[in-house]
Structure 1
């Protein structure tokens, strides 16, 4: 193998890896854009471009001159230019040595490790490269980030951009105190300091100075409508601003000119952007929940509907819950704007039956719905009322019949005694007074009979007429029938010289 030896000494502990590397035989495939520390390992051999090879040689030799003069930055630039024309192991190792002199140890280590992967690396240099790798690994540590690591943010170490978050693996960085900065457009930078120990992993927890996310709100058709977030008006669509992370309720409302609405055209934006219309068709979007994350942009696209119609809902009694299209909107009396077309209105109140009504709304018209709510049936209360009425009726009947029995018995007794004393002949005046008293007792007996009959009739009527509503029945009657729950069981019968009726409630 033909070898061309560079005439220089690598200063410090830098190994002159470029010595004894043949430029002609140790060629790698050209790279379209290798970069300073990102030249890919050589692969299969490719045809040489004489012009590119000549330019690569010129830049390489100029880099060697700068290297000998310790002008590390200029040497770095020339080696990069050489690699941009043709990738060679000599240029790769020379660039790695230069990066090492610039104390960019992590980049030098990455490039040295790529040199080790080259299939044409001379065996006599393999040990030198490995020793360089071993030495550099003592000069770097790894960095791992936790906490606030926004996706897509740029990570800068000592003001130099190193990666895009999130990191897929710990990042190599030079040892010592490192200034960390995380930047993302539209948000405040996140800064931190890390102490990197050789060969060790340093874990740094990032904390954002302003814990915000960004919400971007637009209307589907491009209409300029007012943006309302959590009940506060914040601007006009399209709108974007910082909000706290978490859930937010977003909706749009405003006006759109009737012509623009008919043609579905968005307003033209002026110098200060689109302005919300102050008249026209009333527009409103459904309420939407947007979940905003820290240091992330959450887009929300809402579609506004024509709500140029109003509805007023009243109920008797007032205070009933009002639901429209299955969503609770408030209590009666309630008034608001709704999209045009059919809507299902429901009103519900404790102790009353659910009331439903369909309403059709038309543009620029107000509809009113007035409903008298019906009370829910109370079987237990009706059952108590029935039982009380039956008890009172039978009690009055029992009192009347008791009066009949007592006064009727006394009247009959008085009449019998007078008749026995008079013996069928004319009675003295004293006995006639006895007969008058017996007549009065008979009158009371008649009253007791009437009262008793009315009471028994009223109690019986209460049992059968005052039935609880709602058909509350329970199984158990003979023959597969039913009997009232909690209530009436009765039986009537006729026998020789008797008539009987019995029941319970």
Structure 2
């Protein structure tokens, strides 16, 4: 085959030659700035060296030569063998990405690389049962943000589209200067497709996990209520519940002590049972305190909760009160 000063490298490689790469010469993709004869010669040398190493099963060494060759002359053929080397090294997610790039590159490199592009697509698709495909919908896209899936950076034009990941534990990470990173971990199986949402935490939501999309029902006012009045409502309600539990437990204990003394003494108890009498009184006192704390806590919690829902109304519009009856205890409120 005749070469000129600007003639370049590599014929389109045989479609499925995985273990016996071709090293035949051809022209490199045409470009505005053609590679120099020295670059062409170095690219050819490194491609042939990489092909021999690939055939010998020395994939880690082969890929370095293929990358050097591709750096000199950006031929889809050397790029194809970069992807194949990654695959043989067990880096299936990275190999999938490179096969995808080869297919796209071959489309614009000229008709002579059409077979290379088709081969790249075929070998990419053969990886589907061995990898997971993850689509990440970034809910808070920002200029300069960086998304990675399993440590592999996802170009912004691939956000929201299936992207390869190694099956098993996969960390999805969204970073942007000056913001806490948003992360999410998933465990997809081989051949599985997953779609997740990830975004930076909005100011004041206190979530800290970065997984929210900032589209809550209450808007910014609701976020402020949750961080103050609503939290106070939950805290007071929790204290009230604890008070009622104390009332129930110690009230039951007091009743049991009273029943025991009544059965043993049948009336006023002698001095040697004074300790049990004092214990019963203490249990009744604790029960009474628990009842008061429970009533006040639940009433306060209910009031605060209602106010947090009705922030656009005057505070006087909401009112709760404790209702005690012969056989019941409860709350009554007007809003």
TM-score bin (small chain):
0.3 to 0.5
Greater strand percent: which structure?
A: 1
Normalised TM-score (structure 2): 0.46
Greater length-normalized contact order (CA 8 Å, ≥ 6 residues apart): 2
Question: Considering only CA atoms, is the larger Rg found in Structure 1 or Structure 2?
Answer: 1
